[in-house]
Structure 1
Amino acid sequence: MDVTVVGAGPVGLVLAAELALAGATVQILERRAEPDTAMKAQSINVPTAEALDRRGLLPAAEQVQRETLDRVGPYARTAEHRPPGAGRQGPESRFTGHFAGMVLDPGLVDWSDPDLAAHAATDGARMVPQPQLEALLADHVSRLGVPVRRGVEVTTLDDTGDGVRVGTTAGPVCTGWLVGCDGGHSTVRRLAGIDFPGTDPELTGYQAVVDIADPEKLAEGWTWSSQGAYRYGPQPGRVATMEFDGPPAGLPDTRLRSRGRTPTAPVTLEEVQASLRRISGTDVTLTALRAAPTRWTDNARQAAAYRSGRVFLAGDAAHVHPPFGGQGLNLGVGDAMNLGWKLGAAVAGWAPEGLLDTYDDERRPAGAWVLDWTRAQIGVLRGDAKSAALRGIVADLLNTRAGTTYAVKKISGVTQRIDLHGDHPLVGRFAPDLRLRNGSRLADHGHRGEFLLLDRSPDGAFARLAAAWSGRVNSVGDPHGTPAGVLVRPDGVVAWASDTSGVTDVAALEAALRRWAGAPSSSSSRNR
């Protein structure tokens, strides 16, 4: 195989799909015999939804959202999806999320804000829980012919300089490149010798859906006590707990082991009940688990390098942090989209010099921001008097139109930007909803994973130039309009844009094409 991906979660599935679209042969190794059904992220952000959109998966994601709303509809009116009494249509039904348990009121959001208004096409595909997302992506990679080998664990790896020899429980594997998408306890990261610095945990949290014998003993919403905080609802039986009695620095697993548990051991009903009783100060009784629960901490770490030779890391293997807002899932999908086309270009032999190095350069700042965004929420969530005072101030700020709009923009991902040193305001941003005169959208033309060039020049000058990159650039003509031209990378990031179509604009487009899409097709050759 050209590339072997370790881990069949959303990140590994997205990465494998992108590589397959780029023409690489790819396989996925997954230690679990069956897909993971544990409760994790309950929604996706705008860049993730738009990534699905560009690959033709938006209808499937919209169907998942409809089914999710049908399932939780009676309770979603009090969740962070919409306020009491709001209907399913209009701005009030848009997903907002929360910051440190403080629900963001959709009615306070300025939905006309240019950043939000430019990315509204995927509003109907945001409430996609992680298990359903994995199923959707598994179908996608299956259609692309990517094999997923389950029940296979990686045991050794040897980067030979021209490939990687991987020892597994199913026998040896020889591959051109290896990518670890195998989670926070990544075996690939450990075997590659990549350090994982960061901050040790101060809390342990649980998330579960349970049957409760005496639910009247719990208060709805978030409740703080001297032992921590818990949340009950909005759906019946959904509980989350946080206890701020974490292990000493340098011994992140001590407390869990002292209670007969390790961080990777299955969560039991008794474990969730004990945590809920300690925090609530009641003798509430849980009688059954109705969904696979999860255990988490505020352990926040980022790999010292996202690449070591022919070995890469993506997703939780590259960064871990508290799970607030499902940021980890979205951050990992962003990693996969960024690395997929670049590694595919290297396999195909047309990658310009230094292209693979831009993966770490571009994704590391995004990871660092998410770590700090979630750390800040931990600071606000603590049960001590100082954090409570800070929580009150933050709540006041979030109760303003400007404050809520700011938080929603950050959580949704619409303000993400890569520094690509371009003059046009779109450069480095995720491409906005660009609608064409024929009724289609630019995203509709990206299903094959190529660069997209929107050409609105009067004489088609941009498309004529891009013809030399045939097979890598899909030119879409749409005469007249602003911007006059936009070049979108396969990961959805705008690499070049111009409001005019003169000689200097054509020259700037050529420079961008050479920078990101390599030499023209006529001078490239496949080199594995």
Structure 2
Amino acid sequence: MSETATDVIVSGAGPNGLMLACELALAGVRPIVLDPLAGPSPEPKANGLVGQVVRMMDIRGLFSPNEFEIFDSSRAEHPEPLPHYIFSGIPLELAALQHNPMYGWSIPQPRLIELLTARAEELGVRIRWGNRLIDFRADDEQVVATVQGPEGPYELTADYLVGADGGKSLVRKQLGIAFRGTSSEDRIARFAHARVPEELRTEDGGIDIPGAGRFTFGHNRVERGMFIYAEMTPGRPLIGATEHGCDPVPDDEPVTFDEVRRSIERVLGVPVPIEPPTGPGPHALRRLVGQNTLLAEHYRRGRVLLVGDSAHVHSSMGGPGLNLGLQDTINLGWKLGSVVRGDAPEDLLDTYESERHPVAERVMMHSLSQTALIAPGPEVTALRELFGELMELPEVANHLANLLAGSDVRYDIGDDHPLAGRLVPDLTVTTEDGSVRVDELLRTARPILLDLSGGAAPHAREWADRVDIVDATADHAPAAAMLIRPDGYIAWATQDSDADGLRAALARWFGPARALAEVAD
């Protein structure tokens, strides 16, 4: 604890704060992570990752086969698209899509935090558990944070501060950044891990409740609300309900298992024979009052930035939270690292907001849409029936898959090639060392000029200290050459030769050219 200065302070050691710290460490930057908890949180929250972020975790070498078979029984070595998913509890069939972006990884949030904590420690990240950010001041030169530690308050100085401190973010509030959107207090969601009689379980992972009917895995809308059933850990299903038009519940009133059971029975209209779980926890037991859908007006003010829930909160339906937040961190990490190292000008950080803010807006839109489709009433029932028919159309299924995966927004990167601004295709190439997936080439979080025709590499020599140049060949190559950013997004691509465009893209994203003598040094 003797250090009083560092490159970047990250406030919050949840998945987003830890992932950002790992990205910064890969970029050669020294972060310190602060968190008021005494250690990694064991609280069951998110139950897995879906969408493009799964491939991005694979790009960083963090993906492993499913530990819990939520989405299917596959234990593929690399991410594979899901054959089906849901939109507001309505089945969405994806197997027939030509380019399916809906990947899934069934890793519970506590296990993800454990994984990211271990990776951060391997990379030399300093995590200060039991240390809470309580104040900060920032100017054009530095940020000075006041931290409450176990032995009292102290000051910590850094070049930048990043708030990964959740929906009630102190960092965002102190910056005075508006958090705009909608809030509703008339619905309450309650859920818990439970013991469920074996005879009620169905072969497809659902549940058959006498007097109420058969319910599939996930969200099930009924006329009185939403019933949730998901056996993500064998023998310990998560079960719950969402009710509408509820009276408020005091924040300080503890939730009980009986309260969860009564809520489920009100929604289904029949007794439900469930019991509290046994065995080692932690076990889920939560009450969520109301629903906030809020987006920060800005993601950056000077030397202070926001990621994850500090920048946006929304319904968890469809699982967009970690897909959105972790991609924020992967987008920001390499950019902030490049600025701290002095390789790129500070205005590179402006592209973090310009690229990620529109993606969050899309998540706000589809999460509110899904919330509207679970509301009670015969009109909504009819709308769901119509919407289900539309979702059977291939064009609609494709549109929704890209919306949910976060792949429907193309970054404006200043290049008009069809690949530019998109996540790099999952491509296998052949180098002098043999066949390799492009995802594996990005493990070190360095940008790559992938030269598939032998014509681009000479034009990038003055950036060779910052950009890895890879000569390769590929069957059915989507371009003659691609400049791939550390986050896996394509900054430039060409079908033939575009030396001027390549050099402009290199300068825009990775700083000015350096003399060859400097590069050699």
Band the TM-score falls in, shorter-chain normalisation: 0.7 to 0.9
Which runs of structure 2 are paired with 1:190-209 in the superposition (5 Å)?
190-201=173-184, 202-209=186-193
1:497 Cα shift?
A: 0.2
Tell me the residue number matched to 2:376. 383
Q: Which amino acid aligns with 2:270?
A: T
Tell me the residue number matched to 1:20. 25
CA distance in 1, matches of 2:26, 2:75: 36
Q: Which amino acid aligns with 1:493?
A: Y
Check conservation: 1:3, 1:176, Cα contact below 8 A.
yes
Tell me the residue number matched to 1:151. 130
How many residues in Structure 1 have an aligned counterpart in Structure 2?
481
1:51 aligns with 2:56: yes
Tell me the residue number matched to 1:268. 256
Check conservation: 1:87, 1:93, Cα contact below 8 A.
no
SS at match of 2:40: coil
Cα deviation 1:232-260 (Å, max 9, x = unaligned): 3456632131112267xxxxxxx132xxx
Which runs of structure 2 are paired with 1:211-226 in the superposition (5 Å)?
211-212=195-196, 216=209, 219=213, 220-221=215-216, 223-225=220-222
Cα deviation 1:151-185 (Å, max 9, x = unaligned): 22221111133111212221222222111111111
Cα deviation 1:261-319 (Å, max 9, x = unaligned): 35xx7643233223223322334465314622344443100011111221111001000
* Aligned match for 2:93, one of 105, 110, 117: 105
CA distance in 2, matches of 1:493, 1:168: 36
Tell me the residue number matched to 2:511. 518
Q: Which amino acid aligns with 1:488?
A: I
Give ranges in structure 1 of 5+ residues lacking alignment.
Answer: 70-75, 248-254
Check conservation: 2:461, 2:516, Cα contact below 8 A.
no
SS at match of 1:288: coil
Check conservation: 1:212, 1:288, Cα contact below 8 A.
no
Give the direction of change, closer, same or farther, for the CA distance of 1:318–1:88 in structure 2 (3 Å limit). closer
Check conservation: 1:352, 1:519, Cα contact below 8 A.
no
Which runs of structure 2 are paired with 1:431-450 in the superposition (5 Å)?
431-437=424-430, 438-450=434-446
Which runs of structure 2 are paired with 1:54-69 in the superposition (5 Å)?
54-58=59-63, 61-62=64-65, 65=66, 67-69=67-69
Tell me the residue number matched to 2:452. 456
Tell me the residue number matched to 1:484. 480
CA distance in 2, matches of 1:246, 1:344: 47
Tell me the residue number matched to 1:175. 158
Check conservation: 2:462, 2:516, Cα contact below 8 A.
no
1:409 Cα shift?
A: 3.1
1:356 Cα shift?
A: 0.9
SS at match of 2:145: strand
Tell me the residue number matched to 2:3. none
Give the direction of change, closer, same or farther, for the CA distance of 1:383–1:3 in structure 2 (3 Å limit). same
Which runs of structure 2 are paired with 1:350-365 in the superposition (5 Å)?
350-352=343-345, 354-365=347-358
CA distance in 2, matches of 1:228, 1:317: 29
Cα deviation 1:302-344 (Å, max 9, x = unaligned): 0111112211110010000000122011100111011111111
CA distance in 1, matches of 2:256, 2:161: 35
Mean Cα deviation higher: 275-284 or 359-368: 275-284
SS at match of 1:3: strand
* Aligned match for 2:227, one of 224, 227, 230: 230
The structure with the largest strand share of the pair is: 2
CA distance in 1, matches of 2:117, 2:146: 25
Pairwise CA RMSD of aligned residues? 2.8
CA distance in 2, matches of 1:294, 1:417: 37
The structure with the largest helix share of the pair is: 1
Alignment TM-score, normalising by the size of structure 2: 0.85
1:187 aligns with 2:164: no
Check conservation: 2:358, 2:409, Cα contact below 8 A.
no
Check conservation: 1:203, 1:244, Cα contact below 8 A.
yes
Q: Which amino acid aligns with 1:277?
A: E
Cα deviation 1:177-224 (Å, max 9, x = unaligned): 111111111121122222211101242223322125796456433554
Q: Which amino acid aligns with 1:512?
A: A
Which runs of structure 2 are paired with 1:298-447 in the superposition (5 Å)?
298-352=291-345, 354-437=347-430, 438-447=434-443
Mean Cα deviation higher: 422-431 or 153-162: 153-162
% same residue: 34
Give the direction of change, closer, same or farther, for the CA distance of 1:340–1:93 in structure 2 (3 Å limit). closer
1:472 aligns with 2:469: no
Give the direction of change, closer, same or farther, for the CA distance of 1:36–1:206 in structure 2 (3 Å limit). farther
CA distance in 2, matches of 1:470, 1:268: 60
Check conservation: 2:91, 2:388, Cα contact below 8 A.
no
SS at match of 1:229: strand
CA distance in 2, matches of 1:33, 1:208: 24
Check conservation: 2:317, 2:367, Cα contact below 8 A.
yes
CA distance in 2, matches of 1:433, 1:92: 10
Q: Which amino acid aligns with 1:156?
A: D
Q: Which amino acid aligns with 2:32?
A: Q
Mean Cα deviation higher: 345-354 or 224-233: 224-233
Tell me the residue number matched to 2:205. none
Check conservation: 1:415, 1:429, Cα contact below 8 A.
no
1:92 Cα shift?
A: 11
1:288 aligns with 2:271: no
Give the direction of change, closer, same or farther, for the CA distance of 1:286–1:400 in structure 2 (3 Å limit). same
Tell me the residue number matched to 1:163. 142
Give the direction of change, closer, same or farther, for the CA distance of 1:373–1:288 in structure 2 (3 Å limit). same
* Aligned match for 2:493, one of 486, 494, 497: 497
SS at match of 1:430: coil
Q: Which amino acid aligns with 1:305?
A: H
1:353 Cα shift?
A: 5.3
CA distance in 1, matches of 2:489, 2:8: 24
Give the direction of change, closer, same or farther, for the CA distance of 1:87–1:344 in structure 2 (3 Å limit). closer
CA distance in 2, matches of 1:95, 1:50: 16
Alignment TM-score, normalising by the size of structure 1: 0.84
Check conservation: 2:345, 2:511, Cα contact below 8 A.
yes
Q: Which amino acid aligns with 1:110?
A: A
Tell me the residue number matched to 1:250. none
SS at match of 1:197: strand
Cα deviation 1:122-141 (Å, max 9, x = unaligned): x6x62233222222221211
CA distance in 1, matches of 2:254, 2:458: 58
1:148 Cα shift?
A: 1.2
CA distance in 2, matches of 1:210, 1:144: 38
SS at match of 1:396: helix
